[in-house]
Structure 1
Amino acid sequence: MKSLSHLNKSRTLSVGFVIFGVVVRLVQYLSNRSLWFDEANLALNIVNRSYLQLLAPLDNNQAAPPGFLWIEKLSIQILGNNEYALRLFPLIAGIVSLVALFFFAERYASQWATPIAIALFASLPYIVYYGTELKQYSSDIMIALLLSLLLVPVRYKILSYSQLLGLSLVGGVAIWISHPAIFTLGGLELAYLITAPHRERKAILFNRIPVYLTWLLSFGCLYFLTISNTINNDNLVDSWKARYPQSPLDLLWLLDAFGRFFYRPLGFIGIVDGVAILAFVVGCVACFRRNRIIFMTLMAPTVATLIASYLHQYPFRERLVLFLTPFFLILIAEGIVFLLSSPLKKKWIKGLGTVMLVVLLTHPTSYSSRLIFQPELKQEFRSVIEYVQSNQQPSDQIYVYFKGISHMKYYAPKLGYSQTDYSLGTYELPDEGEISSQEWERYQQEFEPFRGQKRVWIIFRVDDSETETLLSYLNTIGRQIEIYKQKGAFVCLYDLS
């Protein structure tokens, strides 16, 4: 009776945290913030291309799986070209991920680890943020969890024809929606083949050959149609180089990548990431001792991704490995629970578990609670353009600083502007370091066409630290009439006559 009471309490807590996570994501979604730079770049591809054209290399240094892009394209065709439609699938994926983690942890984690893992997943900043961003990382998590829920129960079974067909189709489609789905599929299946009873291993392997061939065929088509073209993008490739190990024996890179994972994408900041690492290590030991198969299930996608990274095929950094976060969080939760319920009669061990629980939960839950009342903003470019539209006069000129080009290209047609109604900058001042005289000269040339104009609207998409630098020259050649600032963007009206 006591254990049943505890089960009901832990389940109630888990459901409560799921609801909390859904509310946070819905509030963030409904706040309808402007698209920021990366979102605007991807949106332009989705809006301006056909379904077939989305298979070609994307413009603006973007990369996303075609299945995700097709879902986004369908969404704006049904619901219209707006932020709500573009962010709907990431929102749905974020909510489904919460529910999927609940069922996964209920089945395979210890009783009290479930609400802790869900509480962290519901509130950690990066996981919450990507649940309402026009990017594929929220659906990456969803696909990883759903595939795990599908594969774990059938790990050592001989599948029927209908099961083989279903598993083949689900895996083949998942690969087109989520690039890292192949690591979940391959990692889990390889782990289960290795750990299968020796006498049954060959039968399981032969039974699943059609499934594996289907997955390989699907991934091969995806690779040659889209991924191989993305690899030819020098800008993307250069941005990934530093994220790869230098050699197969580069253990320093492995330790660095492991440590960075707890800061980003998990989102533990400062000394807290050290606490999370300790909880994770303890959780690995506890889970391995309790159930080695479940431990391998939780670690298999990570191992597969690391192997790909050592082969320089997939960067093990930041948002690209966000799909691994639920598995890490379960192990962190297992570590906390192990310490809290330690059979050793030492108060300091349970005290350590309590401190870990409080330290790891305090920041994310307080952060996400604040989001309910004050949703996060990033680059409010839309409201800046709307302000110009509401206040401009017929003879006014409009100039958009280089960093705001993607935003302007997306929002201008929606607000009735044609390409002849504004001028786009062609030069960007460096973000860091001292600005040379040659750089200032290039920046100044941007405004030569507007000399003598009485009313010129100048729109910037910048960080707050750049504002003073960008305005310093304008104040020497004209008079500022008004300025309108929003988070990450502002517009000023100048008399340059």
Structure 2
Amino acid sequence: MLYCFIGFSIVLSFFNFLSFRSLTLDEAMLSLNILDHSFVELLQPLDRNQVAPIGFLFIEKCVVTILGDSDWCLRLLPYLSYLLSIVLIYKLNRLLFKSSKIALLASAIFSLNFLVLNYSIEVKQYSTDIFTSLLLIISFLNYLKQSNRKSLFYYSVIAILSIWLSNISIIILFSIGLFTLYSFYKNKKQEVLKASLPLMLGLGSFCIYYVLFINNHPTKAMMVDYWGKAGAFLPYDVFSLDFYQSLFLKVELLFKTVLVSKRLWLISLLFVLIAIITSLKKDKIILVLLLPILVHLGLSYFKLYPFDVRLVLYLVPLLISLISAGIIFTYDYLTVKNIKIGVLLVLFPLVTSLYIAYKKVPVQIEEIKESMAYMNTHINPKDTIYVYYSSEPAFLFYKKNYPQIDALNSIIWGNGIRGRDKSVKEVELSRLSGDFWMLFSHLDQKGPYDVSPEEAYFIKNLKTKGYRIEHQKTNYGSTVYKFVK
């Protein structure tokens, strides 16, 4: 049965991949960097305040160099990372719990997780973060299990390379380091001491990466300010109510990523507690799965790394592993007691996740391609296009695919009016004349098809100037208009 859920999730994810949704604002900004920069230029700070691991950028650059610069080519790496992670989470749970039931359940819940499915086709590093963290933990556990030169070699190589593939790998390495120190203090085994070699190599790799690419990065102050305003850091005062409210919200946020529900996260917490209590004598299980969460919270406290949904996505497999263990432990207990409802515990998270994924996949966010296709069909050579500022990156990425648009020379690049005073908005209006198209995406909308405040402002003021809408096409998260007098 569990194999069926995993199989269905793979089919669903492939359907999601083949939907070829439009790039979002952040995806488009990063994609333009990958396309427009050489390998050497990717070693420099990226344009448009983008940040991504060098290894991720290089692999993406290789893919588009070989296969072409389509959006689906850029999505291959994240999508393959998702598929491989399904196998890795099974391997992780087999190593930790030695139970195929727990391993299969964890793989099934993970593969059906809507957030994981969503980010599996996003041109960002979050899906590869999951893959890298799982691979790093498994290589460590394999070494502890086999304690031979081959496993030590693989663990060392993965520790070194992971730093260049994922920004969160240092969190996993630090967590493994803490566990290694604990194990050596407790057991005094030579094999545990040898495990410090890959950690030292990984730390050396991080020091090189830090000096070359992180230290004095031009986006650092901006990022700290942005994530601080977003509440992604814990308050400094540990004795304040704000600190514990913020801590609660972050724990709640993490648990909500599993079942993607505002109400069911407490059930997930219950099964995690069951798994911890049942595994108290197996410190490897508890520490390996919990330490990265605690370390990330610590980094959030010192404002070194934000605690936000997409940035903690790599923790989801670890949390799912504990939840799956709690469910199977409870199921086995109820089976022994001849209580027949045990199977419902297994089916509940699977059916819930399947329902959410089925309702929301394929994922749509900002379908600017549909707006541009409509405009390309109806545009005249003498028309002008006004591109709203948050639509510019995606417009630039896709422009070459639409001949009528690509041939047009008269393009007005919009400036942001969101949150600006009236005088700024009037200046923006004064730039518009004649017959022109307006393209919008990444707007401040209540719903994906609702008129945003930005659109409403333009429409209202243009109508007072004698303009009327000749063409309008509203798509999911994007709209295009043609105004004529």
In the superposition, the TM-score normalised over structure 2's length comes to: 0.88
- Matching residue within 161, 169, 172 for 1:173: 161
The corresponding residue for 1:254 is: 247
The corresponding residue for 1:386 is: 373
Matches within 5 A, 1:58-69: 58-69=46-57
Q: Secondary structure at the match of 2:167?
A: coil
The corresponding residue for 1:34 is: 22
The corresponding residue for 1:226 is: 213
Deviation at 1:208? 4.2
Q: Secondary structure at the match of 1:447?
A: helix
What CA distance in whole angstroms lies between the structure 2 residues aligned with 1:357 and 1:326? 17
Once the two structures are superposed, residues 188-208 of structure 1 have per-residue CA deviations (whole angstroms, 9 ceiling, x without a partner) of 24313312475634x346534
The corresponding residue for 2:61 is: 73
The corresponding residue for 2:315 is: 324
Deviation at 1:267? 4.7
Further displaced range: 96-105 or 461-470: 461-470
The corresponding residue for 2:440 is: 460
The corresponding residue for 1:450 is: 432
Q: Secondary structure at the match of 2:47?
A: coil
Once the two structures are superposed, residues 90-134 of structure 1 have per-residue CA deviations (whole angstroms, 9 ceiling, x without a partner) of 000000001111222234334433333222211121111011110
Deviation at 1:273? 1.4
The corresponding residue for 2:483 is: 494
Deviation at 1:419? 8.3
What CA distance in whole angstroms lies between the structure 2 residues aligned with 1:172 and 1:370? 40
Deviation at 1:383? 2.1
Matches within 5 A, 1:292-303: 292-303=283-294
* Residues 220 and 419 of structure 1, relative CA distance in 2, 3 Å threshold: farther
Long gaps (5+) in structure 1: 1-12, 431-437
**Code of the aligned partner of 2:295:** A
* Residues 102 and 210 of structure 1, relative CA distance in 2, 3 Å threshold: closer
- Tell whether the 8 Å contact from 1:57 to 1:229 is kept in structure 2 after alignment: no
The corresponding residue for 1:286 is: 278
Once the two structures are superposed, residues 267-322 of structure 1 have per-residue CA deviations (whole angstroms, 9 ceiling, x without a partner) of 53121112222222222222335x33222222232233233333322222211111
Matches within 5 A, 1:256-405: 256-263=249-256, 265-289=257-281, 291-342=282-333, 357=346, 359-370=348-359, 375-405=362-392
Deviation at 1:231? 6.6
Deviation at 1:156? 6.9
Q: Secondary structure at the match of 1:112?
A: helix
Confirm whether residue 424 of structure 1 aligns to residue 416 of structure 2. Answer: no
Identity of aligned residues (%): 26
Matches within 5 A, 1:232-243: 232-241=219-228, 242-243=231-232
Q: Secondary structure at the match of 2:91?
A: helix
**Code of the aligned partner of 2:105:** I
* Residues 169 and 345 of structure 1, relative CA distance in 2, 3 Å threshold: closer
What CA distance in whole angstroms lies between the structure 1 residues aligned with 2:55 and 2:67? 18
Deviation at 1:492? 0.8
**Code of the aligned partner of 1:450:** L
What CA distance in whole angstroms lies between the structure 2 residues aligned with 1:412 and 1:171? 41
Q: How well do the aligned residues superpose, as a CA RMSD in angstroms?
A: 2.6
- Tell whether the 8 Å contact from 2:109 to 2:320 is kept in structure 1 after alignment: yes
**Code of the aligned partner of 2:45:** P
Once the two structures are superposed, residues 129-161 of structure 1 have per-residue CA deviations (whole angstroms, 9 ceiling, x without a partner) of 01111010101111111122211122276543x
What CA distance in whole angstroms lies between the structure 2 residues aligned with 1:14 and 1:225? 45
Once the two structures are superposed, residues 168-207 of structure 1 have per-residue CA deviations (whole angstroms, 9 ceiling, x without a partner) of 2221111100111122223124313312475634x34653
Confirm whether residue 211 of structure 1 aligns to residue 202 of structure 2. Answer: no
Long gaps (5+) in structure 2: none
- Tell whether the 8 Å contact from 1:341 to 1:350 is kept in structure 2 after alignment: no
The corresponding residue for 1:7 is: none
What CA distance in whole angstroms lies between the structure 1 residues aligned with 2:154 and 2:352? 42
The corresponding residue for 1:124 is: 113
Paired residues, number: 467
What CA distance in whole angstroms lies between the structure 2 residues aligned with 1:391 and 1:338? 62
In the superposition, the TM-score normalised over structure 1's length comes to: 0.86
- Tell whether the 8 Å contact from 2:183 to 2:192 is kept in structure 1 after alignment: no
What CA distance in whole angstroms lies between the structure 2 residues aligned with 1:345 and 1:104? 27
Further displaced range: 387-396 or 353-362: 353-362
Q: Secondary structure at the match of 1:334?
A: helix
Q: Secondary structure at the match of 1:341?
A: helix
**Code of the aligned partner of 1:193:** L
What CA distance in whole angstroms lies between the structure 1 residues aligned with 2:432 and 2:19? 36
